[in-house]
Amino acid sequence: MEKQEAMKKSPRGAYAGILAAAALWGMIGLWNRSLMAGGFSPTDIVVVRNFGGMALLLAVFAVRDRSVFRVRRAHLKYFFGTGVVSVVLFTCCYFTCQKLCSLSVASILLYTAPSFVVLLSAVLWREPVTKKKLLALVLTLVGCALVCGVFAGDLTVTLPGLLLGLGAGFFYALYSVFGRYALAHYSSMTVTVWTFIFAGPAALALLRPAEMAAALAAPRMWLLCLGLVVFSTVAPYILYTWGLSQVEAGKAAIIASFEPVVASLVGALAFGEHLGLTALAGILCVLAGVYILR
């Protein structure tokens, strides 16, 4: 049965959900670094996240609430959009961009996503582009650039890498767009489950069976994969999609820019990475942008 997500809860709770999602995404380095040190490639991690996320959600909701599996065939295009067009394609573009450009360039190009969301939301749903929203957008974009070290020099940029990076930002933004359409008919849980029903099988195109089997030979790798799937994949997508059901898509995307702030803090606290004054200034910019949208 179709149902529209109830919007009776306080927007403050929705903002908190989006911030929590961004924080969990920002902690992905805790899992990724250990997995790559154990033999996983970036594409292996994409497969684990998406196929593992699908397997977990199917197992949970097959027992808890099978109603999430009932959707109209005409609406499957929305979940193809969130799962394949957004989740899988943005990751492919992002990882390829990282090979062609500096990591900092790839990161900041990915965080052009809120700009795309604000623009598309204004065109598709007439969401107002207010001065407050524009100021928050500029602050978070500048903040992400500072955190990612874009102004530190030693940057490598190629035209194909630039286009792929912008493509990553655009496809990343489309989750909020397709998700908004799907949320007009279904609960946030249904949208999340069907996103991974599409993303999981699509990610298998990147699978390298021999490489994956060798990496999974150590029992510790299974635990790391589980942590990645639960805490930095399924949980944040559930939280973000729930928040998106109650907050303008443009605002949600800007608030999610909190992710690189958490990633930089994780790098400093967990891996001893240097957190200079430029990065701290970037963190303050992002926090100011999020605060403006309170």
**pLDDT the model gives residue 126:** 93
The burial of 34, by beta-carbon neighbours within 10 Å (0-12 exposed, 13-18 middle, 19 or more buried), is given as middle
Cα distances from 13 to residues 67, 187, 250, in angstroms, run 25, 17, 17
How many whole angstroms separate alpha carbon 122 and alpha carbon 95? Answer: 29
**pLDDT the model gives residue 274:** 81
Mean pLDDT, to the nearest integer, of 210-231? 95
Name the average pLDDT for the chain.
91
Mean pLDDT, to the nearest integer, of 94-110? 84
**pLDDT the model gives residue 83:** 97
Residues for the chain: how many in total? Answer: 294
Mean pLDDT, to the nearest integer, of 261-265? 90
Per-residue pLDDT band for 95 (boundaries 50, 70, 90) equals confident
**pLDDT the model gives residue 268:** 86
Mean pLDDT, to the nearest integer, of 27-42? 91
Cα distances from 65 to residues 62, 80, 228, 240, in angstroms, run 6, 22, 24, 20
Domain ranges of the chain: 11-137+153-261
| 152-184 pLDDT, tens digit each | 766 678 889 899 999 999 999 999 999 999 999
Mean pLDDT, to the nearest integer, of 215-219? 93
Q: Is the pLDDT of residue 3 over 80?
A: no
% of the chain with per-residue pLDDT over 70:
96
Contacts of 134 (CB under 8 A, 6+ apart): none
**pLDDT the model gives residue 4:** 42
Least confident of 102-111, 181-190, 222-231: 102-111
**pLDDT the model gives residue 154:** 62
Q: Is the pLDDT of residue 8 over 60?
A: no
Name the residue with higher pLDDT: 129 or 6.
129
Q: Cβ(21)–Cβ(237) under 8 Å?
A: yes
% of the chain with per-residue pLDDT over 90:
75
Q: Is the pLDDT of residue 273 over 80?
A: yes
